[in-house]
Amino acid sequence: MSSTRDLSRQRPTAGSDAPNSWDASASGLLRRPPQDLAAEQAVLGTLMSSTWGANQYVPETLETGIVAEEYYRPAHQMIHRAIISLRQVNEPVDPLTVAAELVRRGELAKVGGAPYLHSCVEAVPTPASGPSYAEIVRAKAYRRTAIESAQRILQYAYSEEGDELDVRSLVEQELTAIVVGTPGLHTAPPTVGDLYLDFVEELQEIQDGRQLGLTYGLADVDTITSGMRPGNVTVIAAQSGVGKSTLALNAAVAAAKTGAKVMFSSLEMSSTELMQKIAAAEGKIALHHLTSKDGLDSEQWDTVARLQQELFKSLPLRVYRPDGAALHDIESAARACVRDGGLDVLVVDYLQLVEVEQSRNMSREQAVAAVSRGLKNLSTQLECHVIALSQLNDDGMMRESRAIKNDASVVIKVERPDMDEPESPRAGEVDIVIEKNRFGPRATVTVAAQLHYSRFVDMAQT
């Protein structure tokens, strides 16, 4: 049998269950195409999980771009299509509804019946890893596609059909198709010529005095930094007790008042403590009155009630207190916000408390660097601004500072001159030291600390 005949034999498609029957190496060695059936089951199981804990990971799994054709087993392709069909009409997705949809399509027996759907759900180690399973499936499918493209090139080259230009054309077509199909690879970025008109339009708006980014709630800080921009990170660093959480919460509320959608994720304070701080700052109620027995008089109770109608009822600010301290939990909550109306600002209080899955095998500096890099990537992926809080050592140096500074666009240090000098002539003043600023000069802005109201204000407001 000729080489041409061997290479042109019918070979299975990407979804076939049969072993690969074509000669991938032209040496007679039969090879099974790359696949991971366990990962395929885990993806489908995640997509069919009906518990709340799993539901939050379904959109993230689909956001990987996985499609039915990327599954190796035809049965898994059928199940995926049924799931997508249900989602498109906003029907619930679970083994029962998927089974009913497959019955309607005449495919339930082909996939192994309803018990197989339940076995897929039971095969999921953890729904949180659904996106990772999907990436595995996509990577295997990509390898199969690459093998098939290479096979077509070999088959045509062995056939001696056409001339060298035809061969070159086929090679270019197949290789281009492989590269374009690479999971996660996007189209070519725009040229500067494509960007010019948008650039000039934004430049004109800046020159006309439009605020470029969202407000921090402090006029001079906004002027120097041009505000909070999507895809960037601001690090607010201070020693314990200086007020970095207060400054960040003030900024979160100020941005939310403009209509920006904000999530404040605290690993240090409870939701109640955060609400107390907001009420103190916005209602000008001494914080200790809110936290002590019978601390509020009737007028202050009226103020609390007024805040519900005038502020809390409509303020697009979410408070998230994760059960653990994992970065993945914060990322999932942020993506949930994006799906439920959007997210403009994410605050994480604070960096050194956040954990990554691999932290046991890392030094402390490497673990914090991984968190910092993760938050930077998240700001870019979700097109939101991240405010990340960081502890300072007693000597004023940021803990594990190198990676944190590198990832940040703006680094702010909060310093209180009267911290160790109660009789200081600068009592009540706080220096906002803008130590790094990619959008303008480094500078120090002095503001007033009204910590009994849990807020910082511009000096002009005192």
- Is the pLDDT score of 110 beyond 60? yes
Superfamily of chain region 1-188? DNAb Helicase; Chain A (1.10.860.10)
Q: At 101, is the pLDDT very low, low, confident or very high (cuts 50, 70, 90)?
A: very high
Cα separation, 188 vs 173, in Å, equals: 17
Contact status, residue 326 vs residue 348, Cβ threshold 8 Å: no
Q: Please state, in angstroms and rounded to a whole number, the distance separating the CA atoms of residues 458 and 462.
A: 7
Domain boundaries, the chain: 1-188, 212-461
**What pLDDT sits at residue 11?**
34
Q: Do domains 1-188 and 212-461 have the same CATH topology?
A: no
Reported confidence tier of residue 51, pLDDT bands at 50, 70, 90: low
**C-alpha neighbours within 13 Å on the C-beta side of residue 388:** 34
User: Taking residues 189-206, what's their average pLDDT?
Assistant: 80
Geometric angle at alpha carbon 339, from 337 and 343, rounded to 5°: 40
Mean pLDDT in residue range 277-284: 90
Q: Can you tell me the distance from the alpha carbon of 216 to that of 256, in angstroms, rounded to the nearest whole number?
A: 10
- What does residue 30 show for φ and ψ, rounded to 5 degrees? -85, 135
Statement: residue 420 has pLDDT above 80: no
| Residue 8 CB contacts under 8 Å (≥ 6 apart), including other chains | 155, 159
How many Cβ atoms sit within 10 Å of the Cβ of residue 103? 13
Residue 262, φ and ψ in degrees, nearest 5: -125, 140
420 secondary structure, DSSP code: S
Q: What is the pLDDT of residues 368-402, one digit of tens each?
A: 888 888 888 889 888 899 999 988 766 556 655 67
Which superfamily, per CATH, for 212-461? P-loop containing nucleotide triphosphate hydrolases (3.40.50.300)
For residue 214, the model assigns a pLDDT of 92
pLDDT in tens, 206-253: 777 766 789 999 989 998 998 999 999 999 998 888 889 999 999 999
